[in-house]
Chains A and B, each alone.
Chain A
Amino acid sequence: MINTINALTRSLNVFHLAGSACNNCDIEILDALTPKYDLERFGITLVGSIRHADVLLVSGVFNRKAAIRARELLEQVPRPYLVLGIGGCPCTGLMFRNSYNWDCPPSAYMNIDAYVPGCPPKPEAIISAVVKVVEGLRSGALVPRCLQDTTDLAVEGVGETT
């Protein structure tokens, strides 16, 4: 287990998962890759498949349709992995929480390890968050939540409706 967590602190493969996002956070995430911010110098690469992901950057509120897709995708991520909620949407749902097309926050079915608030957070904030999380892993202060599984699903039972 410790070996696999250490693997997370070396070079990181990041997968971007957007669910019903306005795209601003998504563009700022991509911006973080451009030479001005240059996420790559931290050994972070954006990958195209969730099967290769170490870190998921999650943006958007995830409406009903997007939530189903997200849950299907999450089955494919090799453990351990980290999830960062980027922007105000995964934090609180912002002003979309009362929508007829929104069911529950992504934390209900995703183990989110850290949140980066902002609308959108600047690329510096996103990079800072990744760096903090990696340092937390190295020091042992942070254990990936996917290993503990604290989602509502785990607590209340998969597929159960209340």
Chain B
Amino acid sequence: MSKRTIVPIGPYHALQEEPEFFKLHVEGEKVVHLDIELGYNHRGIEKISESKTFEETIFLVERICGICSTSHPIACVQAVEDAGDIKVPERALFIRSAVGELERIHSHLLWLGLAGHFIGFNTIWMWAWRFREDVLNILELITGNRNHYGMMKPGGVRRDINKTDIPAIRKLLDSLQDPIKMFRDAVIQDPLIHARTKDVGILTREKAVAYGALGPTARASGYDIDVRRDHPHAAYGMLDFDVITCEKGDVFDKAVVRILEMFESIRIILQCLTQLEKVGGPVDTNPKNVSGGEGIGFYEAPRGEVFHYIRSDGGNRPIRHKVRAPSFMNVPTNRETVLGATVADATIILAAVDPCYCCTERMAAVDRNDGRRLLDTRALIRLSCEKTDRLMAETGFQGPTLPDFRE
């Protein structure tokens, strides 16, 4: 049996604090500084990729993030195709965009649910995740799995979308219009949501640009970038859609961008389905090798641009594979947005960039003078919910009117 090192542990300290992703330094009620500590998720994927073949590495990168599960594969295969000048059949391009947009809808609904939970509206959570289930069902119908679809490969996609499944997909998209309208109206028009999210956690356009922010985090601040429009790939160059931007960059704007983007996603998928009914042919050019060279592929994931760089020496493995997820650029913007905010607003501000779910599980507020831990994640969420209750009592606003879930 090979030797193995057991991870050593120091003496257990009764006051030892759990290391946090987001450590808020507070003075009274206000946040004066934010520490962000990464490292709990780092699995060394870029190095592992060098020992995988080009096809195997797609399954590896899919598991970088469970929510942006198809975004990494799409960006990765595009990088490989760029490196090796590999062509992709038109039919596969429409399938890529369709699966990608379905992912966008499920990811934004997921975020909406969590955001609702953080400000004390669990009905939003339950409804958003309930409709998300329908999206996951369709993804399972098309790809074989609710999550981690295994759809992408260099040269095309692994599975075709059956013409007989297209009516079911259309039916799902139709059924989502009303619920998304419900969320749109519940959020955009509700005065209590306004009170909780407007002017909260503002990221100016200038700061968004300075931090290289991406996705809805950037667009909410008026930084009008969207990989689908700016660097057309997959089928996006052949499709008609709007890029949603706002101006202020507060939590409200970030929510608006995500909700309205879901309508655009539906538009895009419907166009892809129409094309898939017309365009025949294979879904894979079956490339036999990747010629030596370097390639860059990027894709507009729900959180923003996912970037992959691939270097090939003509062999069957990447000799260098660089991966950059959008949260890498978006999470640092929290340093700006949470500064000066109250602890009650901290959770919703940190969650507004849509970081990895595990990151939002681990927040803490510490005293800025002695570092003493004051509030953990549960306490921070509770404070946020209490603020909502207080506002309800003060203003008489009841919050978004959604049907009671268990009716």
Residue of B nearest to A99 (CB): B44
A94–B63 touching, CB < 8 Å: yes
Q: Contact between B43 and A96 (Cβ–Cβ < 8 Å)? A: yes
Report chain B residues within 8 Å CB of A68: 7, 9
Q: In the complex, which residues of chain A have a beta carbon less than 8 angstroms from the beta carbon of B63?
A: 22, 24, 94-95, 119
- Stretch of A5-13, A69-77, A78-86, A134-142 with 4 or more beta carbons under 8 angstroms from chain B: A69-77
Task: Decide yes or no whether B195 CB sits under 8 A from chain A.
Answer: no
- Per the 8 Å Cβ criterion, residues 52-80 of A in contact with B are 61, 63-69, 71-73, 75
Within 8 A of B (CB), among A1-57: 18-28, 30-31, 34-36, 48-49
CA distance A153 to B8 in the complex (A): 10
Question: Which residues of the other chain, A, contact B12 by a CB distance below 8 angstroms?
Answer: 72, 75
Q: What is the CA–CA distance of A101 and B67 in the complex, to the nearest angstrom?
A: 23
Interface hub of B41, B44, B129 (most chain A Cβ within 10 A): B41
Give B361's nearest chain A residue, CB to CB: A18
B3 CB contacts on chain A under 8 angstroms: 162
A20 & B148 in contact (Cβ 8 Å cutoff): no
Q: B residues 52-101 with Cβ under 8 Å of A?
A: 52, 56, 59-60, 63-67, 69
Contact (Cβ within 8 A) A24 B7: no
- Tell me, in angstroms, the Cα distance from A34 to B358 when the chains sit together: 18
> Contact: A72 with B146, CB < 8 Å?
no
Complex-state Cα separation, A66 to B378, whole angstroms: 20
B66 pairs with A27, CB closer than 8 A = yes
B356 at the interface (CB under 8 A from A): yes
CA distance A62 to B406 in the complex (A): 37
State whether B42 touches A49 (Cβ < 8 A). no
CB A78 to nearest CB in B, in angstroms, measures 15
Q: Are A120 and B43 in contact (CB under 8 A)?
A: no
A149 within 8 A of B: no
- Residue from B6, B59, B65 with most neighbouring chain A CB atoms (10 Å): B6
Known interface pairs A68-B7, A104-B7. Does A22 touch B40 (Cβ–Cβ under 8 Å)? no
Asked whether B143 is an interface residue with its Cβ less than 8 Å from the other chain, the reply is no
Q: Is B51 an interface residue (CB 8 A)?
A: yes
Chain B, Cβ-Cβ closest to A70 = B7
Residues of A within 8 A of B64 (CB): 22
Q: Is A73 within 8 A of B148, CB to CB?
A: no
- What is the CA–CA distance of A101 and B64 in the complex, to the nearest angstrom? 15
Q: Please tell me which one of the listed residues B9, B19, B147 contacts residue A120 in the complex, with CB atoms under 8 A apart.
A: B147
Instruction: From the candidates A23, A64, A72, name the one contacting B65 in the complex (CB within 8 A).
Output: A23
Is A95 in contact with B48, judged by CB distance below 8 angstroms? yes
Residues of the B chain whose Cβ atoms lie less than 8 Å from the Cβ of A49: 378
* Max count, chain B CB within 10 A of own CB: residue among A61, A68, A73: A68
- The answer to whether A19 and B40 have CB atoms under 8 Å apart is yes
Q: B126 CB to closest chain A CB, in angstroms?
A: 6
| Chain B residue contacts of A75, Cβ below 8 A | 12
The closest CB in chain B to the CB of A16 belongs to B361
In chain B, what residue has the closest Cβ to A59? B358
B residues less than 8 Å from A99 (CB atoms) = 43-45, 47-48
- Minimum CB distance partner of A61 in chain B: B43
Known A23-B65, A24-B148: A71·B44 in contact at CB below 8 Å: no
- Quick one: given A101-B42, A120-B148, are A161 and B67 in contact (CB under 8 Å)? no
Q: Name B17's closest neighbour in chain A (CB-CB).
A: A72
Q: How would residues 258 to 279 of chain B score, 1 for a CB under 8 Å from any chain A CB and 0 otherwise?
A: 0000000000000000000000
Are A100 and B44 in contact, with the CB atoms below 8 A? yes
Q: Which residue of B lies closest to A97 (CB)?
A: B48
Instruction: Tell me the complex Cα distance, A113–B19, Å.
Output: 26
Structural contact, A66 and B65, CB atoms closer than 8 A: no
Chain A: CB-nearest residue to B64: A22
25 A-B residue contacts at CB 8 Å? A23-B356, A24-B66, A24-B148, A27-B67, A27-B110, A30-B129, A31-B129, A35-B406, A36-B130, A36-B133, A48-B377, A48-B378, A69-B40, A71-B9, A72-B16, A73-B18, A95-B60, A96-B43, A99-B45, A103-B5, A108-B7, A109-B7, A119-B148, A120-B146, A161-B8
Closest 7 CB pairs of A and B: A24-B66, A99-B44, A48-B378, A23-B66, A22-B66, A101-B44, A67-B7
